[in-house]
Amino acid sequence: MSKKLAVVALGGNALLRDNQIGTIDEQEDNTSETLDNLIFLLREGYDLVITHGNGPQIGNILMRNDAGEHLYGIAQMPVDICVADTQGGIGYMIDRMFRNVLNKHGIQKNVICIVNEVIVDISDEAFNDPQKRIGKIYTREEADELAKKKGWIFKEEVKAKEGFRRVVPSPVPIGVMNHKIIGDLARKGNIVIAAGGGGVPVYIDEKNDVRPAEAVIDKDLASSLLATLIGADEFYILTDVPYIYVNYKKPDQQIREFLNYADTVKLLNEGHFAKGSMEPKIIACLNFIREGGKMSVITEAFKLADKKYGSKITMEYE
């Protein structure tokens, strides 16, 4: 049985579903169900690296930050520290749930979570045009006061009748720290959890020191980069839809189960994929294939093991 290395990015309802409030019981149940879908990869001889999002969790931490400062005078922590917090908390949850899933299936493997940094370029244009909304919704007066006090940037919240949310840059990841260690651990048969929430955002200054960046990195782009850097064979994005669609949720909606690189680029350029949702996932998959990856797969979190689901992107048609 040949060994393959796969990077699996958990997102969408892999950890939390839209109709849930986010209790730890809900997240643990969802995570266990998702991880149970990965057992077939282990049985087929794959080594695994797991990455994950942190959308609801980072927002909750930032709101706790805000409440702690307002009510008790507790100093707020910057975004990079909050991302690291989510890496530790979510990583621990995935670690423990995976150990229990492995135990259920009679599989003995080590599971390790790495809190690691992802490198960005401080001159990335995203720093001049922050767009990623984070944290709670503020009134105009609160937003103006915080902008003056902390230098934060706010944009009007389109999903609310009135209110403003803080925005931070979402720069393109250019490096993953400790990727060689992550790859080595995985190829020795350990299940590695890494680059959670897109990684802790950092940049390298003129002295070659590591500096924090007040930013949020797209977790799919970071996961794709990690997959490329460690020479993974396959890259999976688990989300809340079972396929890639053209004309999504329209009367002429079409499933695209098998795509090659060129056709996927064409669909992307034609605007078939929504910005902020499917578009970054498609770009992440294309990046992986362009850099030598054999196959990218996008599918629903709980349907990976059922191979009749999922859209597969390869350089040429299989």
Catalytic residue flag (residue 149): no
Distance, CA of 183 to CA of 199 (rounded, Å): 16
Say which of 11, 116, 132, 293 is annotated catalytic: 132
Catalytic residue flag (residue 148): no
Catalytic residue flag (residue 12): yes
Say which of 37, 135, 183, 281 is annotated catalytic: 281
Say which of 197, 219, 287, 310 is annotated catalytic: 219
Q: Between β-strands 295-300 and 258-260, what pairing exists: parallel, antiparallel or unpaired?
A: unpaired
Catalytic residue flag (residue 132): yes
Say which of 13, 54, 116, 287 is annotated catalytic: 13
> Residues of 104-137 as b/e, b for ≥16 C-beta within 10 angstroms?
eeeeeeebebbbbbbbbbeebebbeebebbbbbb
Distance, CA of 135 to CA of 82 (rounded, Å): 11
Backbone φ and ψ of 237, nearest 5°: -115, 115
Distance, CA of 267 to CA of 285 (rounded, Å): 13
Three-state DSSP class for 143?
A: helix
Q: What share of the chain is helix, strand, coil (3-state, %, to 5)?
A: 40, 25, 35
Distance, CA of 270 to CA of 264 (rounded, Å): 10
Eight-class DSSP state of 160: S
Do 199 and 250 touch, CB atoms closer than 8 A?
Answer: no
Q: Which residues are catalytic?
A: 12-13, 132, 219, 281
